[in-house]
Amino acid sequence: MREKSLFLNRSTPPKVVTLVLLAGLSALTMNIFLPSLPGMAKWFEVPYSLMQLSVALYLALSAALQIVIGPISDRYGRRKVVLGALVLFLIATLGTLLAPNAETFLFFRMAQAVVAAGMVLSRAIVRDMVADAEAASMIGYVTMGMSLVPMIGPAIGGFLDEAFGWQANFTLLLLTGLAVTALVWADLGETAAPKDTRFADQLRQYPGLLASRRFWGYCMAAAFSSGCFFAYLGGAPYVGTEVFRLSSKEIGLLFSLTAIGYLIGNFLAGRYSVRVGMNRMVLLGTLTTTGGLLLLVLATVAGLSGPIVFFALTVPMGIGNGLCLPNANAGILSVRPELAGTASGLGGAIMIGGGAGLAALAGHLLGPGSSELPLVLLMLASSVGSVLAILLVMARARKLGLSGT
């Protein structure tokens, strides 16, 4: 029976393309405007470091929201939460377009973070439908398709910025958000039966997750692996503009190199995760990222870096994240399968919260006269942390005699 409410309780499972576009909207919101950041700082007549907070603050609020999005979706169902978040996202996006100053823009930019529900719950919906290794494989395919969005997002953003100004990027987000909302309304059925458990009782499940060493290990592997990418998001626009003197269109095109690597990594994760195992795929991904960033550090110290070298050597980072993140996320969800939404939200909060800190730190390290080296070193340190985290998970799994190592 359908509920007599705004959010009809459909029971049909969603198509994969719906999950791809739902998660892709969140990714597009994060990065389409990055080539515009230096120009936006001039438009609002504020320092770049203030405008760069539109990345760090967005990630910080996204992390905070993910703490509650998961339990709310476990309590009330995925469909209602996703649709409600999309409506709020549309209102926030309209606010960014009408903002008269930088402070107002940052407020509505932070409010856009509610779209993170799409990223979190697309993973939880996958886990509702299939289990463990199959979940890692399906998440890999979903994020492979989703990676097409950030691959073209900055490139489109750069072209729109040069042709029409930074506002064109947020107009595109508004129109895309309307289209995704309509698709979700029509196709996204409920995959998790609403529970009678109170929200406070849901939050009390957190200690059980937080006490798990495996949960923390997977979270740290995901957080440090993606952390180098978030630091890149926070610092690369400055490096491209101020160090390499590139236009916003050129920066947007070069940003797509990392996303191409992510696409390749997601394809490999989707194809081989079941055969190779979650933990080994995470380790392979973190080692790939670390190797690429080590080469970039050496090239930078040797004075061989330039725009092509800098951006090209982020391709291994994209591949490594594409291998690591679907499997690390599947690992996070496998610790307590009955709390998939809660685990996805909490794990995402830890991952994105760490990313927010690294993005802000990247902006702080890059100032007038600085080179790209501080950013590259920060990215390498984060990637090394991901290697250590998954090695600890694998050691723990061997001790407990768990499979998938």
Q: What is the pLDDT of residue 1?
A: 42
Q: For the ranges 85-89, 173-177, 299-303, 325-329, which has the lowest average pLDDT?
A: 325-329
Reading the block at residue 198, the tokens are: 């109170």
User: Which of the four pLDDT bands, split at 50, 70 and 90, describes residue 358?
Assistant: confident
Best CATH choice for the domain 16-185+206-400 from the list 1.20.1250.20, 2.60.120.10, 1.10.3720.10, 1.20.210.10:
1.20.1250.20
Show me where the domains of the chain are located.
16-185+206-400
Indicate if the pLDDT at residue 239 is higher than 50. yes
Measured between alpha carbons, how far is 356 from 348 in angstroms, rounded to an integer? 12
Q: What is the pLDDT of residue 336?
A: 73
User: Which of the four pLDDT bands, split at 50, 70 and 90, describes residue 312?
Assistant: very high
**Nearest 5 degrees, angle CA 333-CA 234-CA 181?**
55
8 Å CB contact between 39 and 166:
yes
Q: What is the pLDDT of residue 114?
A: 92
What is the full DSSP assignment across 97-144? HH-SSHHHHHHHHHHGGGGHHHHHHHHHHHHHHS-HHHHHHHHHHHHH
8 Å CB contact between 75 and 202:
yes
pLDDT digits (tens, 9 = 90+) for 177-194: 999 999 989 887 776 666
Q: What is the pLDDT of residue 311?
A: 92
8 Å CB contact between 189 and 125:
no
Indicate if the pLDDT at residue 5 is higher than 50. no
Q: For the ranges 42-46, 258-262, 278-282, 306-310, which has the lowest average pLDDT?
A: 258-262
pLDDT digits (tens, 9 = 90+) for 121-137: 877 777 676 655 566 66
pLDDT digits (tens, 9 = 90+) for 187-226: 877 766 666 666 666 666 667 777 788 889 999 999 999 8
Distance of CA 176 to the CA centre of its chain: 18
**Nearest 5 degrees, angle CA 232-CA 149-CA 350?**
50
Q: Where are the alpha helices (H) located in 213-306, listed in sequence order?
A: 213-238, 248-276, 278-301
Q: How many residues does the chain have?
A: 405
Q: Exposed, middle or buried by CB within 10 Å (0-12, 13-18, 19+), for 2?
A: exposed
Q: Exposed, middle or buried by CB within 10 Å (0-12, 13-18, 19+), for 165?
A: middle
- The mean pLDDT of 104-122, rounded to a whole number, is 89
Question: In this predicted model, which residue has the larger pLDDT, 359 or 278?
Answer: 278
Question: In this predicted model, which residue has the larger pLDDT, 378 or 156?
Answer: 378
What is the full DSSP assignment across 155-188? HHHHHHHHHH-THHHHHHHHHHHHHHHHHHHHH-
Contacts of 101 (CB under 8 A, 6+ apart): 44
Measured between alpha carbons, how far is 378 from 213 in angstroms, rounded to an integer? 26
- The mean pLDDT of 286-301, rounded to a whole number, is 96
8 Å CB contact between 325 and 225:
yes
What is the full DSSP assignment across 282-328? HHHHHHHHHHHHHHHHHHHHTT---HHHHHHTTHHHHHHHHHHHHHH
Measured between alpha carbons, how far is 144 from 138 in angstroms, rounded to an integer? 10
- Average pLDDT of the chain, as a whole number: 82
Task: Look up tokens 């890059």; give the residue.
Answer: 366
Q: Exposed, middle or buried by CB within 10 Å (0-12, 13-18, 19+), for 63?
A: buried
Percent of the chain clearing pLDDT 90 (strictly above): 30
What single letter denotes the amino acid at residue 251? I
Question: In this predicted model, which residue has the larger pLDDT, 244 or 153?
Answer: 244
Q: What is the pLDDT of residue 255?
A: 80
